[in-house]
Structure 1
Amino acid sequence: MASQQLPASQLTILHYLYRFRFLTSRQISKLLSHKNIRLTNYHLQILTTHNYIGKHYTRSLGQANQPAVYYLASGSIKILEGRDGIDKRALKRVYREKMRSQQFIARSSFIAEYYLHLITDSQKSAHTLHFFTKTDLLAHPYLLHPLPDAYFARVDKKNETKRYFVELIDDASPRFALRRRIEQYNDYLEDGKFEEKTGHPFPTILFICPGFASLIYLKKHLGRIYDETSLDETEVYLATHEQAFAGNWEKVDSDDE
């Protein structure tokens, strides 16, 4: 099947998998605004047959009912290379996608789910949403490295824009790694590169934690160092996965114990 013969829906699926890395059929169906998931599965089956995408199953004990997730397979490279918005560096990793850890897949799937949530929320509040995955952010070399998990901006009816960095926290991350990541954000904020390159204020930082253990630790640590860093020049919010979807964010302040 030549690339020019791929239907628009199938090309769109490849682009979404390029951006989000791992997606379930339900997520893909929502992204395509398909009313019937059978139509989505029809396109997925064709793409899988031609090795444009692969399918990953979770076979761990107690997770037998988890949906399959899809990712780009090697056949997609010749379809995507040279197209607008496609980074060659990102295409090179396609060969390793089938070997990604379950933790990595879960992070990718969460970002997609949060994006879908933001779409719905923005429609309800009459905001215009601009969302960038970590893959999208490769095109912006002035950004913090390692890159945030996502960046988005929302524009309200008055044309006022609020910008956000999204940082996912893993429960398995050692405490020193969390402290180091906060230092990296502080260094980037002090560097002033974001404001210099974009002309915009530094974005609000959203830390999303899998549970309360990591949230409580981050809240206490950030509260202790808040006045000693430049983080007070922006806003920092914390939430668990569930709180993020509910919109229940906890703002970090000085000595927030």
Structure 2
Amino acid sequence: MTSAGAAESFDPLRPRLLRVAYRMLGSVADAEDVVQEAFIRWMGADRAAVREPEAFLRRTVTRLCLDQLKSARHNRETYIGPWLPDPIVEEEDEAEDVTLPLMLALERLSPLERAAFLLHDVFGVGFDEVATTIARDAAACRQLAARARAHVREARPRFKVEKERGMAIAEAFFAASRGGDMTALGAMLAADVSIHSDGGGRRPAAMKLVLGFKQVMQVHKALAVLFRKHGSQLVRTAFVNGLPGFVTRESDGELQTTALEIEDGKVVAIYVMRNPDKLRHLH
């Protein structure tokens, strides 16, 4: 098979391979690098001997991600302020079940637990193939997935917000937070609401989680003054990592994403991405 033939068989699988790599790594750029490395290996492989190209490539991508996670863990430990995965901005009909809170829960798993859970529970891969992929027997893979499931259970949405209702709340949140309507904003927030803001040391952001209604309202009162003075332009409403939210262009000219975790009609968590390195793919 020629190079053109290799690309022809690889390209239809690329989006699915990117989804696996991104959910393993939480970084769009790293996921793209891994998938490109898998393509290079695919070009050099004896492709005629591969019966199931998708399984072969998924295996390759997962193993590359496991190697990458070893160094990623160190990078997380030295990261400035709260870490959030790169934002994936989707249309309403594309929004997936692997939400931002679930991505954060995956961060707390060991690399092997993460691989077993994602491959089996999210991508529907059988345990025999999971075992081949991560070089463990099937029984060990079942244990890894079960442990992971117990850890991430709390991150699964208990009260799934209907998509249109979620987007309406996101639009109202943008209007109230930028317009300084603290009464309207306060009515949307749960008592234990939190703000997770990732600036990565590159742009101003809270250096730790902001927890509780009173503290979150104080932050938004201060922000409303800045928004009135300098502006904050809505680029679009969208689902951000499966959560209702919006993309804005802030006064420094940079993009920002805001994602809202909603339970029982109230905002329980606000996830703000300000790190320009993690927003580059949105341009």
Give the TM-score normalised by structure 2: 0.24
- Larger radius of gyration, structure 1 or 2? 2
From the two aligned structures, give the one with the greater helix fraction.
2
| More relative contact order, 1 or 2 (CA 8 Å, 6+ apart) | 2
